[in-house]
Structure 1
Amino acid sequence: MATPTADVIAIASLLKRERFYRDTAQWDLCRATFHPDAAETYINVAWYEGNVEDFLRQSAQMHKGKVNIIHSSFDPVDIRVRGNRAISEAFCLVTSSLTLRAIDYELASHMRLSHRLQKLSDSSEWRILSVESSYVRDRLVTAFPSSDASSPLVMTNEVQAYPKSYRHLALVMLNRGLKPRPNLPHEDSPESVMRISDRNRAFLDTAEVEFV
């Protein structure tokens, strides 16, 4: 097995810290992991598409200073570097809690996170350009088993219209007043996942091989 390069180690650390800073509401530190020019950034996840500034602003509004969403089992091992550009892809498990009519639930969503990164010319440090998620599967369970089979969560026609790969995530988001898009990349649509990989490879292929 090849020894990871210094760039690969630095990128893996950066990506893990970005998720931790977001989950723990450390917004300034989270912002610092991204490219300083927000116009160069792109976030595409279930509830948001746009640049990092608006993403963090809306995240802060939803977060309310409380740890709820946790990106666990995130280990970006497939990191490819070419000159001043890099891409990464990894599986990630995202868990969150929901209380509805005194019943506690936990949502667990399995996804793939894809990143594009760039090394800054003034500091030679890596920064994130893009974060894109594609969805594999999810589950929603009560946090404590109960003999009461009744539940305030109903699989409505609106929820059923979402792809199975993130249907429970959509149910929870709709109950939180958010409206996820019905055409997100997901494993039941391999071509939608492949489009992300193709864009990232094209980004890497046009890198400056000799970084000054």
Structure 2
Amino acid sequence: MTTLTADIAEIQHILKRERYHRDTAQWDLCRAAFHPDASKTYINVAWYEGDVENFLQQSAKMHKGKVNILHSSFDPVEIHVRGQRATSEAFCVITSLLTLDGVDYELASYMRLLTRLEKLSESGQWRMLSLESIYVRDRIVTAFPGSGSSTLTMSEEVQAYPKGYRHLALVMRYRGLKPQTNLPHEDDQEGVRELLDRNRAYLEGAE
């Protein structure tokens, strides 16, 4: 196995493990996927922007003691390695369940997850530096059609969110979260290009 092939295999493995460990509330294992220096990490997703330590603390507070949110169909396919730096892109579907007034709903959010990684000089192991999303589309449906009258409403505040993650924002607001309104999405190709360019610049050596 060549060094490049081994690097790509290790990166795929760590990215998949990180999502699984987050979904199953294994916070220490999830943290281990990231750079040991939290100040070097950056998470920017619908409900959070900041470093990995606070991200995991907030995630733990939201977890209800059972698996609900699932990052499925997650397959890092666009991995580039240059020396001690790497970037990854993957399509991902996040599903979760919401029960409101006795009616079960399932949310499905389709996105691209982008990651920057660094190979640690001490151990030679790859660790994640960042996790950012580009939102493609989402939907929310009743888990069992005809199970009850829906009380979900699309308020003006929710309608202000981009179409790419509007239903995701609706569910998050019901859960007491305040999702960001300016995240990259497929109807915002300028924002998409800016994120892709930042990752490309990191790969080429930018600080």
- TM-score for both structures, normalised by structure 2: 0.96
Matched, 1:11 2:41: no
Cα distance in structure 2, aligned partners of 1:171 and 1:4 = 42
Give percent identity, aligned residues only.
Answer: 71
Structure 1 residues 4 and 191: alpha-carbon distance in aligned structure 2, compared to 1, 3 A threshold? same
Cα distance in structure 2, aligned partners of 1:114 and 1:36 = 19
Cα distance in structure 1, aligned partners of 2:174 and 2:190 = 29
Matched, 1:195 2:181: no
Matched, 1:145 2:119: no
Note the alpha carbon deviations across 1:154-180, whole angstroms, 9 max, x for none: 011111111111010011001000011
Partner of 1:84: 84
Note the alpha carbon deviations across 1:46-71, whole angstroms, 9 max, x for none: 00000000000000000122101000
The residue type equivalent to 2:24 in the other structure is T
Structure 1 residues 91 and 203: alpha-carbon distance in aligned structure 2, compared to 1, 3 A threshold? same
Partner of 1:47: 47
Query: Structure 1 residue runs of 4+, over 2 Å off?
Result: none
Question: Does the aligned pair in 1 maintain the 2:137–2:163 contact within 8 Å?
Answer: yes
Q: Which blocks of at least 5 consecutive residues in structure 2 are unaligned?
A: none
Cα distance in structure 2, aligned partners of 1:138 and 1:41 = 27
- TM-score for both structures, normalised by structure 1: 0.94
Cα distance in structure 1, aligned partners of 2:64 and 2:155 = 28
The residue type equivalent to 1:39 in the other structure is S
Cα distance in structure 2, aligned partners of 1:196 and 1:65 = 34
Partner of 1:29: 29
Q: Secondary structure at 1:73's aligned position in 2? A: strand
The residue type equivalent to 1:153 in the other structure is L
Between Structure 1 and Structure 2, how many residues are aligned? 205
Cα distance in structure 2, aligned partners of 1:69 and 1:194 = 28
Cα distance in structure 1, aligned partners of 2:23 and 2:65 = 10
Cα distance in structure 2, aligned partners of 1:15 and 1:139 = 25
Partner of 2:173: 174
Partner of 1:165: 164
Partner of 1:58: 58
The residue type equivalent to 2:128 in the other structure is I
